């Protein structure tokens, strides 16, 4: 009820309030994340998760509906972290889903990203993008 009366707040589809001025930067961030995600589909990636584990596999798709998550194909654990994993060391998992609440970073090496994702690289062909994935809804 409070959210409806304050003009500088909006409620997203999950019911959490955010400031209206955050819309432009949030929209730009979401667009950059979507573009970067599309650029790495089909590529070998390394997904670093909170417990220190690293999973490697083919970046297959991402879900951006409720909680951002990614799907790897032919995934394997390349570095064991501190938590017990449901992926055995050395085994290949046909499909692995990793939610953003567990992701620290996704690394795809040697790829070219559009300048609107990486910033102005002044003629460099290969860029890097760093996006912060929300681990909890805002």
- Its domain, for residue 25, covers 2-118
Residue 129 domain flag: no
Beta-sheet pairing, 17-19 with 44-49 = unpaired
Residue 136 domain flag: no
Number of Cβ within 10 Å of residue 111's Cβ equals 14
**Rounded Cα gap, residues 104 and 54, in angstroms:** 10
Total structural domains in the chain?
1
Residue 66 domain flag: yes
Residue 26 domain flag: yes
pTM, whole model, 2 decimals?
0.64
Residue 42 domain flag: yes
Are 12 and 18 in contact by the 8 Å Cβ rule? The answer is yes
63-114 pLDDT tens trace: 877 777 899 999 999 999 898 877 888 889 999 999 989 999 999 988 877 7
Residue 138 domain flag: no
Residue 125 domain flag: no
Judged against a pLDDT cut of 60, whether residue 131 lies above it is answered with no
7-60 pLDDT tens trace: 333 333 333 344 444 555 566 667 887 888 888 999 999 999 999 999 999 999
Residue 137 domain flag: no
Q: What CATH number should be reported for the domain holding residue 44?
A: 2.30.30.100
Number of Cβ within 10 Å of residue 90's Cβ equals 7
Could you tell me what percentage of the chain is helix, strand and coil, using 3-state DSSP and rounding each to the nearest 5?
20, 35, 50
């Amino acid at each position: 009820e409070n959210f409806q009366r304050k003009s500088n707040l909006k409620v997203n589809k999950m019911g959490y309030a955010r400031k209206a001025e955050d819309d432009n930067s949030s929209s730009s961030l979401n667009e950059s994340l979507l573009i970067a995600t599309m650029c790495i589909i089909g590529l070998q990636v390394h997904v670093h998760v909170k417990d220190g584990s690293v999973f490697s596999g083919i970046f297959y798709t991402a879900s951006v509906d409720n909680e951002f998550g990614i799907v790897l194909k032919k995934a394997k654990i390349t570095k064991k972290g501190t938590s017990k994993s449901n992926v055995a060391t050395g085994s290949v998992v046909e499909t692995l889903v990793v939610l953003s609440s567990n992701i620290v970073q996704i690394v795809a090496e040697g790829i070219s990203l559009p300048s609107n994702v990486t910033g102005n690289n002044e003629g460099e062909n290969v860029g890097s993008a760093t996006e912060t994935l929300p681990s909890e809804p805002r």
